[in-house]
Amino acid sequence: HAGRWREDVGGLSAADRDRKLSEAAQAFVTTRDELKALASSDPEVSRLRQEAEKNLALGAFDRARGNLAEAAGIDAQSSDALAGKLVARRVSEAASYEATAGIALAQLDYMGAVAAYEHAAALHLKIEGDADRGKRNRILQKLGDVHLRVGATANALEAYQRMEAAARLRLSGNPENDDAIRDMAIAIEVVGDALRTQGDFAGALKNYDEALKLRGAQVLRMDGNADWLYGVANAAERAGDMQRLLGDLDTALVKYESSLTFRRWLWDHGGNLPKYREGLLVALARIGVVRLAKGDIAGAEEVWAERLATARTLAAELPDSEVRQVRLAEAGHADALDFDRA
């Protein structure tokens, strides 16, 4: 089991190796950007984080983690904690642990990432500020994501359920706060994702429908908000996926078609963000799959033709993008569909 926690990519297939290295590269970029954005009132903590950023850029991951461990230690032991700055010190210490987790992921050291995220989450548990509660939710989501990545679905579910409990606490004090509502919806959805991975499709569907209801209550305040529309589309598609797997094709199609309305809006008004542009492809593919399963061959061909035209447009926008070219190739085959890419 320990081997799963620190990946050796040498024995993997080319596709799996590419995926792991892509994950590591993304973790590297994210952590580098987070380190640049971190601020501290303690000059020594700031200096150590700058050193960590430099070491990360040089590929000296262990030295970077050592810098961050030292920075976290300074925050933990500082006399400022006795001078009314306890919250600020805990937030700073947690930020160092979160950055450490990012470096661990860049090394494919999943156990190191789990330990660092647990440290960060434990520190945020002691902080009462609303914004910091939101930060803890996201740390717990990252923790669950790491567990899910290595196939530890029970641990992932437990982390996501902790996230859900934290989100409910935050929402109880701010029932009309849109950030708190969004965090609650995301927490419910990721619990659903873990249940889906465990094969509990009915449980997952219940969560996805609850998330949809939560997001739907924001409709009057969120008209034209791309991030909200993207979240509603994702939740509708997740629910549709579960209804499709449970054999309820009619309701699945209704969910997919409602999502398509949002995906079209994001295509037209969401700018050039890949997640907004490419989401339309998967929405069309989902509808085609269900129409075909219901015997509506003409209807399936119609949406798949639109999917192919959309993929050609995306490929032309970024001709050097490998992802876009793969999507174009997939769009030419009705059975080439990966729902998890939405």
CA distance readout (Å), 240 to 69, 248, 267, 298, 327: 44, 9, 21, 21, 22
Q: What share of the chain is helix, strand, coil (3-state, %, to 5)?
A: 80, 0, 15
The segment with the largest mean pLDDT, out of 137-151, 185-199, 209-223, 324-338, is 185-199
- The predicted model scores a pTM of 0.74
How far apart are the C-alpha atoms of 146 and 135, rounded to whole Å? Answer: 17
pLDDT digits (tens, 9 = 90+) for 88-100: 777 777 888 888 8
**Contact in structure between 327 and 311 (CB atoms under 8 Å):** yes
pLDDT digits (tens, 9 = 90+) for 251-277: 999 999 999 999 999 999 988 888 888
The segment with the largest mean pLDDT, out of 69-73, 134-138, 283-287, is 283-287
User: E strand or H helix at 321, and its extent?
Assistant: none
pLDDT digits (tens, 9 = 90+) for 49-67: 677 777 667 677 777 777 7
- Which of helix, strand or coil describes residue 10? helix
Q: Of 209, 284, 289, 285, nearest to 242 (Cα)?
A: 209
